[in-house]
Structure 1
């Protein structure tokens, strides 16, 4: 199987279906890079519909990275109380803000090796920042991208980081930053790992 051709065949069908979908994901639509990064940290294991309004409230209260860096843990935790892993996320939000202020003069770095040094930032978030904030090529692999890529046997991997590495070898760069949004929207529509169910979702309504 030519994996590049197979990927492009599947991706183009999915993009035709989900490209026009007007649905905001947690890492989209922010007016600054630091908000996008913090919102993405918050979104782990949480629904976008839950994350976005809580992030908006957080950013209303702490309207600069410096203010968030100096926030009290219990105050941030109070805002995130309804989220999964709220204690860990509250800790990471403050630590990440402080780290960026102390080490990068409050600017969001544009290299993945620098981004992953930030507390709470793994390769998924780092790649999303690269593509969304800095308009660089990056493949953001979350559970949906990982699952779909394996269901269609584009890759045979055990975790999202492995999937990212393999997709980098297979997928032409011009598609890298487009994969996450399309596969996330598709993945939200289909539970499990049944290829037939995924393909059914791509049929015209």
Structure 2
């Protein structure tokens, strides 16, 4: 058994960093050493930022985004088209769509996807609030921007069924060849989806 080479405080820092996505024990150790070496420029300001985040970050009661205000900045933006609602799985998906800047609309974060194998059912997602918003806010179009996975598509079909009585236009993101993509490098599922979703040129 390897002996510990640092104090419990440093070991605790490494253990916490190792819990982050994309971090394993080695990358956590490297990150911890870098933070410690740059403690004046990085470790102190990072600790302050994390303390502030813990105190001030809230979940938006309207859409499920995270921000320092409720309603969040996106929901409070009157320049957006609030009759169009983009449904996403996670806050990370919302941020990705915002970075793309393709459509300035409102959002609704589900908090995941239906996944019977993982024990995630309709009551575990923000589905009831979605239906309430569509009925209350006179939404004209719901865009299902969920991932092209089995769970994502199952969730999309379930939402479509829930929205059917409300007679709202329901669309989904196109699937297929990415911009700059070469056909030879794409998987069969992507190629098949691209062929089915072909449009006039």
Q: Which has the higher contact order (CA 8 A, sep 6+)?
A: 1
> Comparing both structures, which one devotes a greater share of its residues to helix?
1
- Interval of TM-score (by shorter of Structure 1 and Structure 2): under 0.3
Task: Please give the TM-score of this superposition, normalised by the length of structure 1.
Answer: 0.26
Task: Please give the TM-score of this superposition, normalised by the length of structure 2.
Answer: 0.26
> Comparing both structures, which one devotes a greater share of its residues to strand?
2
